[in-house]
Chain A
Amino acid sequence: MYQFLKSAFAIIIAGGLFASCNKPLPEATAIVTPAPTGLTILETLRAAAPGTYTILDSAIKKAGASTIATLSDKTGVFTFFAPTDAAFQASGIASVASLAAFSSGTLASILSYHIVPGQKILSDAIPTTFPNIKLPSGLVAAAPSASLPPGLRFPIYPSRRGTQLFVNNIPGTENNIIVANGVIHKVAALLTPPTATTIKGFLASDPTNFSILSAAIIRADSGQVNLNRFDSLLNFVVPGFTVFAPTNDAFRALFPPGTPDANIIGALNTYAFFPAQTVRGIIAYHLLGAAAFSVNFAAGPAPVNTLLAIPPTNTVVPVVVTYGGATFTVKGLANATASNVTTRDRSFLNGVVHVIDQVLRPQ
């Protein structure tokens, strides 16, 4: 009897001890992203054949710890437009020794402009048609603040025409070298960071060439407020524009020879000659809604839409652009001849300026 009880007891206790097998409540499981394998950007550069990135490697070393850390950071992701030795040479830096002319800070800035952080942008992801995409580079223009919550970086404009990659106005030479922390695209020359000013700032800084254009913009803005003012628009870091900027000479050519600039500006401000609406139309006719470098234009002559839209149907009036290496012209529909781009691809925080020698006329 007690034997039986003992065994019954034993069974229950043994069963109970089984209970030590109760599975504990499973913990939340982390989603594991596999660590990247392979060489980093920096390692890839250094592993390349001698003579490929020799100058770049020295430049990176001289640029200092932060640049080195970025390019070898396996926990991040970057798109790097890598200037080869040939690219340095094309930009006038013949050898490692030539880097002596640059401070390490300058090199760090230049190199950071060659990076699009946070993304691995393959050439396929870059549109082939106008407008270009505008991406923030690694070069910081303004840190995040209340008014600029994500901060402001110097913009960089990758584009593609067919299989040919461009970055700003610089062609790529080899695309899509995938590495552990991103992608490398070789470029044919060093990228020049935009001048740290707006287009308005640029125009104001060069009164010798653009005082009449600046005055015309003021006239065009009369009666307008906020971002309807070109003045504000061209000073606003947010959008990207292309401005075909006629020089003072271009304006002077519209008036009898020898007319003082003051008189020209006076005429622009006189309703009888130039109603504000007309000036506004002319200015709009010199602006494109996105930043376009010379290389982004088709061989042409091809119409390119401007910001001029004529009411009531808001018909957009294009300019006609011709581009082919040394040739780069733009013609207003009412101009007899095309105006030449005398200085091309000036890049600023909010867009690109091409300087032209005629005022474009829509009609």
Chain B
Amino acid sequence: MRKCYCFFTALFTAFLFLSSSVFAQSSIITGSVKNAGTQEGVQAVSVTVKGGTVGTFTDPQGNFRLSVPALPVVLVVSSVGFESAEVTVNDAATPVQVSFVPTSSLGQEVVVSASRTSQRILESPVSIERVSAVAIRNAPAANYYDIVTNLKGVDVVTSSMTFKTPTTRGFSGSGNLRFNQIVDGMDNQAPGLNFSVGSVIGLTELDVDNMELLPGASSALYGPGGMNGTLIITSKDPFRYQGLSYQVKTGIMHIGDKERSVSPYHNWSLRWAKKISEKLAFKIGSELVQAKDWVPSDYRNYKRFGTGGFVTDGNRETDPGYDGVSVYGDETADPRVPTFRQILGSVGAGFPPLTSYINTLLPGIPADQRISRTGYTENEVADPNTLNYKLSGAIHYKISSKIEAIAAGYWGTGNTVYSGSQRYSLKNLKVGQYKLELKGTNWNLRGYTTQENSGESHNLTVATQLFNEAWKPSSAWYQQYAFAFLNAKQSGRLDAEAHGIARAAADVGRPAAGSTQFKTLYDQVRKIPIPQGGLFLDRTDLYMVEGQYNVTGIQFAEVLVGGNWKKYVLNSQGTLFYKEKEPININEYGGYLQLGKEVVKDLLKLTGSIRYDKNENFEGRFTPRITAVIKPAKDHNIRVSYQTAYRFPSTQQQFIDLNVGTGTLIGGDIELYQKYDLINNQGNAYNNGVIGEKIPYSELKPESVVSYELGYKTLVNKRLLIDAYGYYGTYSNFISRRDVLQVSTQKGFSIVTNVPEEVKTYGGGASIEYLLPANFVVGANFSSDKIKNVPAGFRSFFNAPDFRTVLSLSNTGFGKNKVLGFNIAYRYQTGFLYESEFIEGNVPAYHTVDAAFNVRIPKIKSMFKLGANNLLNQYYQSAIGNPSVGGLYYVSFAFNVL
């Protein structure tokens, strides 16, 4: 684990040094907080001394204990969902009794991520969405990650039941490089595999305190990557949320699925947190999700040209070159696959009496007709079991009342499927994130590492192709095919029938999917590392140190400074990255400064921030942000912002060197061009099978976006919350891939390029929430994202519907003792063209309904929930080539989550 651990050592040293300081305390106040309605103790309630830094939280029984320097004090008792209370304590001997009144409120939440300091959500200078623990508890979602789907402006690509990738403002995809996900301060993008592992290794459901979603450019505060948005997930503090809690969720799915029979869904989650003393607390969390995965079953014919293509007519029976979308091993896009004319020609050369006959057949065969090997469907090759096991833990130690040290680890493993340039079975993928953090009242410093292990992950397309080769090499298969074809023709058969006969003849003895022979051979192939087999040996790591300081004592303005250093160590043993250079180290560092000032009291607040980042392979970049919040009246907030964001090409965009079965993906590094002689022997542009101009090497530049946003948020009468926004963004040096064909070698490459033109996106959205009597909340949101100035023939991968809307009705507590709750959400989005390196095509419009009903039993601090994702079991696809998602119906029992 190399020298990069040195910064952890440094952190530990700091930790030990600081822990020597001790704080003196005198009086001890005890007390309890009870729900005014049910008389049950309320846990995790914040109890702080007004005007001071001293505070604590109630334990699972609602009791608290707090040391204060002197009496009397005023305690502020607060928690989301209750009316805040203030209690004056004069005497430490009498326990304090707080009767806590539940309340429903809108727009009262506090967000942190909009400007890296706490502020009311209403006053956020940029668009932000927040999902609280209460919302998670009540949400109509089988998994907390799914909740994001129903926020406004969000698109989620479902590559697998346990692999969901959210994004905002377009450019959605399984591996989204323009949307950051930050979990407890750690960027959780897998450094080598380049996708966010949030739903794979992120927090366990019971440990999520809140999620904050920042749509739009956010590099200024969160560094490179957040071109389109940032999702920040924060876990529960063990000092605050204590005790043992668990949740057992069981469901059924695959009802009416043509690919899989009805099967169970299991999700078990456990969290245990304990405050050992006022200084020390720890937590452990674990979650297991197990189910039969959703499976793609798009068997339409795909006409592929390099990494592009389109869905076309034809099936296995009627198109000899059939390449099914969800069928692997039948790809013919590689220009090196011989055409049928070439195959017949070589048969003729070996068997001259047929030469004339073959020559008279050739005019009837299209020049580009290729014969595809018989493939296997994803259902046949991919492990049907999706599994996700997460284990996390943290130790929090309060070095002083102002400094807290945290050591945390998050580890996850699982089986899931990811859609990149192909479908990848992420089998026994293991990702760990480990963090050391020091937090002061106005500063923090943390170091973390992401350790990635691709386990038995493999490319389904390549593995299936190699399986076919292992069973019968294509040379032999094509020869048998051609002989049988000619024989059928000589018996008078039409071409179509002759192709069928030929395939049947060449496929004699083909291992049936699911047979022992199939499994044995397939397992053999997928376990051999690339390029001989399908296995990735990715062990890439990321190390990061960052800190932030909120400068106090400056009259002029609020000042925030921060910086970070990041190091990637790419190591795939040649199965993903440029082998000759591995391990590849990439260093990145950056710093930022933010100034905020209320220019006109209660009317105008301006914030400006600037950030500088430098990647050793690219020139440094400044990204400024200027925001203004105007409050024309109380609870009316207009926000205006100018933001920039940029991203360095991802590790793969720099150094990937991977044959994906339909060509070779290479990064922008010049040495890769040299390796394939693409500098002297340049590739030609290759679009829809047409060979175009020569493409010279050009140095890759970071991509940037400049975005303007106008928003308005208002709270009317504490009952009606309205939020609206509009944005306009301009991307320059947009990073994309294009296909080139090296004519002399007939090798196809997908190279990374900057699009010379500027690409513009714009859109907007609005949401309304209305608090009805008796806790009912009705809500509606809609949003739209569009792109323009996309040059002809260029693929933007914008992947956003023109319109999406969510209508919802919920209640967090009604009926007797307010123990009943429900939430129902209806989502609709229009159809759109989905572009990816894997498959391109139209995703039809779809509707879906999620619903949940819950009953709380305060006596045993438990909740039963009955829920459904896709209640009406209407299968839909979030992206072409990805699974069809149907209904998931579940019941859950949760203990100690109230």
Contact = CB atoms under 8 A, between A and B. Distances in A.
A138 B492 contact: yes
A78 B492 contact: yes
A20 B299 CA distance: 22
Nearest to A125: B360
A117 B487 CA distance: 10
Contact of B488 (A78, A118, A152): A118
Interface stretch (A94-102, A237-245, A305-313): A237-245
Contacts of A12: 807-809, 824-826, 849
Contact of A119 (B301, B361, B488, B872): B361
B496 A33 contact: yes
A49 interface: no
Contacts of A196: none
B90 interface: no
Interface stretch (B347-355, B544-552, B642-650, B699-707): B347-355
Contacts of B809: 5, 8-9, 12
A117 B872 contact: no
Contact of B778 (A8, A31, A121): A8
Given A1-B773, A15-B847, A150-B486, A118 B351 contact: no
Given A28-B315, A150-B351, A144 B487 contact: yes
Interface string B457-487: 0000000000000000000000110010011
A155 B356 CA distance: 11
Interface stretch (A69-77, A264-272, A328-336): A69-77
A151 B492 contact: no
Contact of B874 (A9, A22, A28): A22
Contact of A16 (B322, B494, B872): B872
Nearest to B301: A28
A27 B299 CA distance: 6
A13 B850 CA distance: 11
B876 interface: yes
A37 interface: no
A15 B489 contact: no
Interface stretch (A82-90, A128-136, A164-172, A209-217): A128-136
A22 B353 contact: no
B297 interface: yes
Given A15-B826, A30-B315, A118-B493, A134 B353 contact: yes
Contacts of A153: 490
A18 interface: yes
B846 A76 contact: no
B828 to A, nearest CB: 7
Given A16-B871, A144-B483, A155 B353 contact: yes
B875 to A, nearest CB: 7
Nearest to A32: B318
Interface string A2-20: 0011001101110111111
Contact of A31 (B318, B359, B498): B318
B872 A25 contact: no
Contacts of B355: 134
Nearest to A143: B487
- Which of the listed residues A12, A25, A133 has the most CB atoms from chain B within 10 Å of its own CB? A25
A239 B360 CA distance: 17
A94 B356 CA distance: 35
B450 to A, nearest CB: 36
Contacts of A11: 807
Contacts of A315: none
A21 interface: yes
A245 B299 CA distance: 62
A294 B297 CA distance: 62
Given A134-B353, A150-B354, A28 B299 contact: yes
B300 interface: yes
Contacts of A155: 353
Given A29-B313, A31-B313, A77-B494, A150 B875 contact: no
**Chain A residues touching B, range:** 35 or more
Contact of B356 (A15, A117, A135, A149): A135
B487 A150 contact: yes
A28 B314 contact: yes
A257 interface: no
Nearest to A131: B356
B801 to A, nearest CB: 14
Interface in B264-282: none
A288 to B, nearest CB: 15
A30 B353 contact: no
B494 A33 contact: yes
Nearest to B491: A117
Contact of A19 (B352, B363, B493, B846): B846
Interface in B763-777: 772-774, 776
Contacts of A19: 826, 846-849, 872, 874
A238 B489 contact: no
B356 A75 contact: no
B324 interface: yes
Contacts of A135: 356-357, 360
A240 B357 CA distance: 13
A144 B300 CA distance: 35
Contacts of B318: 30-33
Interface in B796-822: 807-809
Nearest to B297: A25
Interface in A169-190: none
Contacts of B845: 23
A72 to B, nearest CB: 12
B298 interface: yes
Given A5-B776, A8-B778, A73-B492, A22 B314 contact: no
B875 A76 contact: no
A26 interface: yes
A138 B487 CA distance: 11
A29 B302 CA distance: 11
Interface in A23-56: 23-33
A133 B360 contact: yes
B383 interface: no
A76 B355 CA distance: 21
B492 to A, nearest CB: 3
A32 B496 CA distance: 10
B360 to A, nearest CB: 6
B483 A150 contact: yes
B616 interface: no
B185 interface: no
Contacts of A4: 772
A14 to B, nearest CB: 9
A16 B826 CA distance: 6
A28 B300 contact: yes
Contacts of B315: 27-31
A17 B874 CA distance: 10
A76 B360 contact: no
B319 interface: yes
B784 interface: no
B826 A117 contact: no
A138 to B, nearest CB: 7
B849 A16 contact: yes
A70 B490 CA distance: 12
Contacts of B300: 26-29
29 contacts: A1-B772, A12-B849, A15-B807, A16-B871, A17-B872, A18-B847, A20-B872, A22-B874, A23-B845, A25-B875, A28-B315, A28-B324, A29-B300, A29-B301, A30-B314, A31-B313, A31-B315, A33-B494, A77-B493, A115-B492, A119-B361, A119-B489, A133-B359, A134-B355, A135-B360, A144-B483, A149-B487, A150-B351, A238-B352
Interface of B: 297-301, 313-319, 322, 324, 347, 351-357, 359-361, 363, 479-480, 483, 486-494, 496-498, 772-774, 776, 778, 807-809, 824-826, 828, 844-849, 871-872, 874-877, 884
Given A22-B875, A28-B315, 16 more contacts: A8-B778, A8-B809, A11-B807, A15-B847, A18-B828, A19-B848, A31-B314, A32-B318, A70-B492, A118-B489, A133-B356, A134-B355, A135-B360, A150-B351, A150-B486, A155-B353
